C-alpha cells in the first residue's frame, strides 16, 4: 500500500476496486452462461429434436431448486454463517458442476449413450409436482433436455448464491464509501455479459459453417472456469482483509437463524422485496421473448447469404463497437477532467449510433435487442454515483417503474403499427429498448444498495437471499404466463400448425407425399408462425406489473419518510 496511514486493504481505493473487479468479472461470466441457449432456441429445436415446451421447461429449471426446495434461503444462511469468501468459492464450484452437466447433455457423445436411454425411459413423472404444474420434467421430454434441466437447476443454485454473495461482498468492501457506484459497476458488467451472450452464443454455434450447439455451451463452461479462478483470487484478498479487521463483523454478533424473523417483520423489507419481484418479472422474462417480439412486429428480412451484412466478421466488428460504447461510456464516469469526460461520452454515443446502424443493416433482431443492456452499462454507474452522493433511491424506483410502463405500452401498441415502415419501426424499437435500458439502470442502481439500510449488517446475506427468493418466484412464473397468454391470444397460429400437421399426415398416409416433404411443409409453416405472434396482451400484462411496482414505490417513499429509513439519503455523508 502506497499510503502508510492506510489501515486495511479496503482503505485503499485500488484494492477495493480490484476486489470488485474480481467479483464483477465472475458475474460477467455467469450471466453469459445463464442465457447461453436463449439466442439459439431455433438450433436446439433443429439439432437436438427439442420443441418449444422442452426448451421452455429446461429454461424454467434454473429457478426450480431455489424456489421450490428453498435453496436460496439456505444459501443466505450459509453466507451469513460462513462468510463471503467461502460462499463465493462454493457458488463458483456449484455453477461449474451444473454447467458441466448441461454441457454433457448437449454434447454429441450424449447421443446414443446409455444415459440417454435411461433418461428417455425414466424421470417422466414426479408425484405431487406434476399435479401442481411445477415439474421440471414431463413424459416425452427429450433425454438431453431432462439432463440439461438437471444441470441448469444446479447452475441456478450456484448463480443465485453467487449473486447474493457478490452483493454482500460489495457491502463488506464499500459500505460508507462508493457502495452504489460499486454495485452499479458490477451490474453494468453483468449486463454486458448478457449482450455478449446474445452475440457470441449464435456465433460459436455456427462458427465455420458447421452447426454445433455444444460449442456455445463449451464457451460458457470455459468462462465459468475463469469465474471460479476470479473467486479463488478474491478468497485470498478477503482473507487478508479479515486478518486485518480481526473479523470484527462476524465476531461482534454471530448470525442466528432466528434473526430472519427480524427481516420479515420489517415493512420496508417487504415493500422492497415486492417491488423487486414485480419489476424484475417484467424484465428478465421479457428478455427471453424480446427477440421474437421484435421479429413478429418488425418483419425483418435477413440479408442474403454471401452479402456483406451477412458475413460472420461483421458480427465481430459490431461486438467490438459495442465494447467501445461500453468502455468509453463506463470510463467517462471516472474521468476527473471535464473535457476528457465529454470526449469519452461523445465517442460512446457515436459508437452507439454506428452499432444501431449496423443492427438495422443486418436486420438482426438479436443485434437490435442487444442495445438493451448497453444503456444500463453506461448509466448504472452514473446513477449509482448519484445515489452515493445525493440519495433519492425511492424516487428512482418510482421513475424506473414509470419508464417500464411506458416502454411495454409502446411495444404493445406503437410498434405493431410500424410493421410496414422498416426504418421507422427499427428507430422506435431502438429508442424504446434504450429507454427500457435506462429504467433497468434506475431500479437496480437504487434497489440493491437500499437493502443494507433495512437490516443489520450480520443478516444482510439472508436479506438479499430472501429478496432473491421472492424475485425467483416471479422469474419462474412469468415466462410461463407470457407463453400461455401468447398462445391463448393467438389461437389461430396453433390451429394453423395443427391443420398442416393433419393435412400432411393424411397426404403421407394416402401416399401423395413423402415424410420428408411433409416435414418440410410443417417446418415452413412453423417458421412462418414463429414470427407472426401478436404480443399485445403479454406486453399489457408486463405493463400492469410496472403499474403495481409504481404504486409500491410511492408507498415505499411514504414509509421511508414516516419511519426515517433513509432511502432518500446519500450513502456517503
Ligand atoms: C443483481 C441483480 N441480480 C438478480 O436479480 C439475480 N437474481 C439475477 C437473476 C437472473 C435470472 N435469469 C441484477 O442482475 O440486477
Query: Which residue's C-alpha comes closest to atom 7 of ligand 1?
Result: 468
**Residues 320-351 pLDDT 10s:** 998 999 889 888 877 888 899 889 989 999 99
* Gyration radius of the chain over CA positions: 24
**Residue 369 pLDDT class (50, 70, 90 cuts):** confident
pLDDT at 56: 80
The rounded distance, in Å, linking the Cα atoms of 166 and 175 is: 13
Ligand 1 closest atom vs CA 190: 14
The rounded distance, in Å, linking the Cα atoms of 22 and 230 is: 5
376 and 191 Cβ atoms separated by less than 8 Å: yes
Domains of the chain: 12-250 (1.20.1250.20)
Helix (H) or strand (E) holding 469: helix 460-489
The rounded distance, in Å, linking the Cα atoms of 32 and 254 is: 35
pLDDT of 97 strictly over 90: yes
Q: CA separation (Å) from 230 to 92, 194, 238, 461? A: 9, 19, 12, 20
pLDDT average, residue stretch 205-230 = 93
pLDDT at 302: 67
Q: Which residues line ligand 1 (CB under 6 A)?
A: 34, 160, 163, 187, 190, 280, 284, 444, 448, 468, 471, 475
pLDDT of 231 strictly over 90: yes
pLDDT of 276 strictly over 50: yes
Angle (nearest 5°) at CA 305 between 39 and 35 = 5
Query: Which residue's C-alpha comes closest to atom 5 of ligand 1?
Result: 468
Higher pLDDT: 2 or 205? It is 205
| Choice from 286, 444, 479 to test ligand 1 binding pocket (greatest atom count within 8 A of CB) | 444
60 and 476 Cβ atoms separated by less than 8 Å: yes
pLDDT of 3 strictly over 70: no
462 and 87 Cβ atoms separated by less than 8 Å: no
Query: Which residue's C-alpha comes closest to atom 9 of ligand 1?
Result: 160
Name the average pLDDT for the chain.
Answer: 88
| ipTM associated with this complex | 0.97
**Residue 2 pLDDT class (50, 70, 90 cuts):** very low
Report DSSP state, residue 333: T
The rounded distance, in Å, linking the Cα atoms of 131 and 83 is: 39
The rounded distance, in Å, linking the Cα atoms of 52 and 54 is: 6
What spacing in Å lies between the alpha carbon of 414 and ligand 1's midpoint? 29
% of the chain with per-residue pLDDT over 70: 96
| Choice from 468, 469, 477 to test ligand 1 binding pocket (greatest atom count within 8 A of CB) | 468
Angle (nearest 5°) at CA 160 between 158 and 161 = 60
What spacing in Å lies between the alpha carbon of 237 and ligand 1's midpoint? 25
Q: Is the pTM of this model over 0.90?
A: no
pLDDT at 403: 97
% of the chain with per-residue pLDDT over 90: 50
282 and 546 Cβ atoms separated by less than 8 Å: yes
pLDDT at 25: 97
C-alpha cell belonging to residue 153: 437447476
Higher pLDDT: 25 or 378? It is 25
Helix (H) or strand (E) holding 208: none
pLDDT average, residue stretch 424-439 = 91
> Is residue 566 helix, strand or coil?
coil
pLDDT at 350: 94
- Residue showing cell 486485518: 244
pLDDT at 255: 62
φ and ψ at residue 257, rounded to 5 degrees? -60, -35
Amino acid at each position: 500500500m502506497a499510503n502508510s496511514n492506510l489501515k486495511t486493504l479496503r482503505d485503499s481505493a485500488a484494492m477495493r476496486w480490484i476486489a470488485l473487479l474480481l467479483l464483477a468479472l465472475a458475474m460477467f461470466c455467469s450471466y453469459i452462461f445463464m442465457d447461453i441457449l436463449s439466442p439459439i432456441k431455433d438450433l436446439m429445436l433443429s439439432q437436438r429434436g427439442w420443441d418449444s415446451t422442452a426448451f421452455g421447461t429446461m429454461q424454467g429449471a434454473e429457478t426450480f431448486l431455489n424456489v421450490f426446495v428453498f435453496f436460496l434461503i439456505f444459501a443466505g444462511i450459509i453466507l451469513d454463517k460462513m462468510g463471503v469468501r467461502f460462499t463465493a468459492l462454493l457458488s463458483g464450484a456449484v455453477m461449474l458442476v451444473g454447467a458441466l452437466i448441461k454441457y454433457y447433455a448437449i454434447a454429441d457423445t450424449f447421443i446414443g449413450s446409455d444415459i440417454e436411454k435411461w433418461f428417455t425411459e425414466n424421470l417422466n413423472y414426479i408425484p405431487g409436482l406434476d399435479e401442481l404444474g411445477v415439474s421440471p420434467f414431463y413424459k416425452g421430454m427429450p433425454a438431453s433436455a431432462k439432463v440439461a434441466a438437471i444441470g441448469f437447476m444446479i447452475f441456478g443454485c450456484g448463480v443465485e448464491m453467487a449473486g447474493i454473495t457478490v452483493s454482500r461482498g460489495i457491502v463488506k468492501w464499500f459500505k460508507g464509501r462508493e457502495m452504489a457506484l460499486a454495485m452499479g459497476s458490477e451490474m453494468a458488467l453483468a449486463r454486458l455479459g448478457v449482450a455478449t451472450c446474445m452475440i457470441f452464443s449464435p456465433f460459436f454455434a455456427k462458427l465455420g459453417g458447421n452447426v454445433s450447439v455444444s460449442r456455445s455451451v463449451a464457451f460458457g463452461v470455459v468462462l465459468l472456469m475463469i469465474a471460479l479462478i476470479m473467486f479463488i483470487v478474491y478468497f485470498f484478498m478477503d482473507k487478508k482483509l479479515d486478518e486485518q479487521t480481526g473479523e470484527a463483523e462476524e465476531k461482534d454478533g454471530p448470525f442466528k437463524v432466528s434473526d430472519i424473523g427480524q427481516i420479515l417483520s420489517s415493512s420496508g423489507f417487504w415493500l422492497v422485496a415486492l417491488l423487486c419481484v414485480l419489476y424484475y418479472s417484467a424484465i428478465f422474462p421479457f428478455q427471453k421473448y424480446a427477440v421474437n417480439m421484435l421479429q413478429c412486429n418488425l418483419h425483418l428480412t435477413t440479408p442474403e447469404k454471401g452479402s456483406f451484412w451477412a458475413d460472420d466478421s461483421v458480427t465481430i466488428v459490431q461486438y467490438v463497437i459495442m465494447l467501445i460504447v461500453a468502455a468509453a461510456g463506463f470510463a467517462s464516469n471516472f474521468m476527473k477532467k471535464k473535457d476528457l469526460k465529454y470526449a469519452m461520452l461523445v465517442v460512446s454515443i457515436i459508437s452507439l449510433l454506428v452499432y444501431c446502424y449496423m443492427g438495422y443493416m443486418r436486420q438482426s433482431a438479436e443485434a437490435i435487442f442487444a442495445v438493451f443492456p448497453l444503456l444500463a452499462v453506461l448509466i448504472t454507474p452514473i446513477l449509482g454515483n448519484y445515489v452515493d452522493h445525493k440519495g433519492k433511491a425511492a424516487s428512482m424506483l418510482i421513475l424506473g417503474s414509470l419508464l417500464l410502463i411506458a416502454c411495454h405500452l409502446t411495444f404493445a401498441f406503437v410498434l405493431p403499427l410500424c410493421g410496414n415502415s422498416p426504418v421507422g419501426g427499427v428507430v422506435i424499437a431502438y429508442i424504446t429498448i434504450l429507454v427500457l435500458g435506462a429504467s433497468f439502470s434506475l431500479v437496480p442502481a437504487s434497489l440493491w444498495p437500499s437493502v443494507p439500510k433495512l437490516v443489520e449488517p450480520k443478516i444482510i446475506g439472508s436479506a438479499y437471499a430472501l429478496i432473491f427468493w421472492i424475485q425467483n418466484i416471479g422469474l419462474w412464473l412469468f415466462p410461463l404466463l407470457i407463453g400461455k397468454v401468447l398462445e391463448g391470444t393467438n389461437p389461430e397460429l396453433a390451429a394453423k400448425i395443427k391443420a398442416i400437421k393433419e393435412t400432411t399426415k393424411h397426404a403421407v398416409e394416402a401416399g401423395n407425399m413423402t415424410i420428408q416433404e411433409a416435414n418440410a411443409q410443417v417446418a415452413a409453416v412453423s417458421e412462418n408462425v414463429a414470427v407472426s405472434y401478436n404480443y399485445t396482451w403479454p406486453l399489457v400484462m408486463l405493463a400492469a406489473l410496472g403499474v403495481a411496482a409504481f404504486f409500491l414505490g410511492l408507498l415505499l417513499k411514504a414509509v421511508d419518510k414516516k419511519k426515517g429509513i433513509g432511502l432518500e439519503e446519500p450513502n456517503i455523508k
